[in-house]
Amino acid sequence: MGNGGTAPARRGGWLAGLAVLVAVLLLGHRWVPNSGVRSGSLLESFLPWLGLVVVVLFGIALVRRSALALAALVLPVAAWTYLFGGLLLPEAQAGPRDLIVVQHNVSDENGDPAGTARTLADAEPDLIAVQELVPSALPVYERTLAADYPYHAVRGTVGLWSRHPLSGARLVDIKPRGITESWRRGLRAVVRTPHGDIAAYVAHLPSVRVGAGGLASARRDESAELLGKAVAAERRSRVVLLGDLNGTVEDRGLDPLTSRLNVAERGLAFTFPAAFPVARIDQVMARGATVADLRTLPRTGSDHLPVAARIALG
């Protein structure tokens, strides 16, 4: 009788301990070391999914009728809401000085570039940024977008299409050391909008891989550092960055960018992989403006989902 009466309490304590651990990981993810296997960045890449762990723990606590565990779960619920709750709020009303921008890694294996271009244009954005733009597909994008987006600039495998005039287009060197082949994945141009000039950056940072040795992100981190320095040196007060950054905004590997630019205030918008998105690695960031909200667009022939963001110029 005595053992049977104390077992539920022990189980409740175990669940409560897990709840506290999840709360600590949510609020203290920066304390997780990033040396070696880069466990910190790996955790931060999937940080919102700790909410699913909370749901599972809640279900177990209900089944076991553990008041202690249910009480402890208030901590991770509050932590998750603090970090991500604002992203779930409905979109705010658009203002007269807002710009709509679209970001998409179109994939170098995309079999339907014309359909992809139409999907991006259907969002009626002011700017369209693309990565993995291969030479054979470039004429298709140019023809499909020409009517509504008469201005465009392409450097290497990244491109920018605009309703508004572009000037000063140039390559931004974000190539990490050790890459010897042609590697042009950064572009900067000035967009002459009705509300003033904006420096637009389009970038594609190196891919990361998850393996037995942890998260391989050294080249991505180095490229992010180079891009961050370019943004810091930008003289225009208004800057918009659109890119496949191969990292979430919580990932400390993108600190050179997130420390200088603000990120979306609303919208989780997971983009990769397109078949079952688990993370948003396609980003829109800004300086001197606000990324008011962000959403995904319908799937294209890419392994990424496109995102559309509203930039509030104030």
- pLDDT, one tens digit per residue, over 64-110 is 889 999 999 999 999 999 999 999 988 877 788 899 999 999 999 99
Mean confidence (pLDDT) of the chain: 93
Residue 230 neighbours by CB under 8 Å, 6+ apart: 172, 174, 186, 188, 201
The total of other beta-carbon atoms located within 10 Å of residue 56's CB is 10
The pLDDT assigned to 128 comes to: 98
In the β-sheet with 186-193, what is the strand arrangement from edge to edge? 166-171, 186-193, 196-204, 239-244, 282-287
Percent of the chain with pLDDT over 70: 96
The pLDDT assigned to 304 comes to: 98
Higher pLDDT, 171 or 216: 171
How confident is the model over 203-256, as pLDDT tens digits?
Answer: 999 999 887 677 889 999 999 999 999 999 999 999 999 999 999 999 999 999
Q: Cα(41)–Cα(55) distance, rounded to whole angstroms?
A: 23
Angstrom CA distances, 39 to 24, 50, 66, 194, stand at 15, 15, 32, 45
The pLDDT assigned to 95 comes to: 81
The pLDDT assigned to 113 comes to: 98
The pLDDT assigned to 11 comes to: 60
DSSP for 240-274 reads EEEEE-SS-TT-GGGHHHHTTSB--SS-----BST
Residue written as token pair 């189980």: 11
**What single letter denotes the amino acid at residue 50?**
L
Confidence of residue 7 (pLDDT cuts 50, 70, 90): low
**Residue 70 contacts residue 58 (beta carbons within 8 Å):** yes
Angstrom CA distances, 249 to 90, 104, 136, stand at 20, 17, 32
The total of other beta-carbon atoms located within 10 Å of residue 80's CB is 21
- Report angle CA 48, 51, 55 to the nearest 5 degrees: 160
The pLDDT assigned to 10 comes to: 55
User: Is the pTM here over 0.85, yes or no?
Assistant: yes
**Residue 271 contacts residue 307 (beta carbons within 8 Å):** yes
Q: Cα(83)–Cα(240) distance, rounded to whole angstroms?
A: 23
The pLDDT assigned to 1 comes to: 46
The pLDDT assigned to 153 comes to: 98
| Rg, C-alpha atoms of the chain | 22
Instruction: Give the pair of three-digit tokens for residue 51.
Output: 């909410």
Which run of H or of E encompasses 102?
Answer: strand 98-105
Confidence of residue 34 (pLDDT cuts 50, 70, 90): confident
Residue written as token pair 């963001």: 309
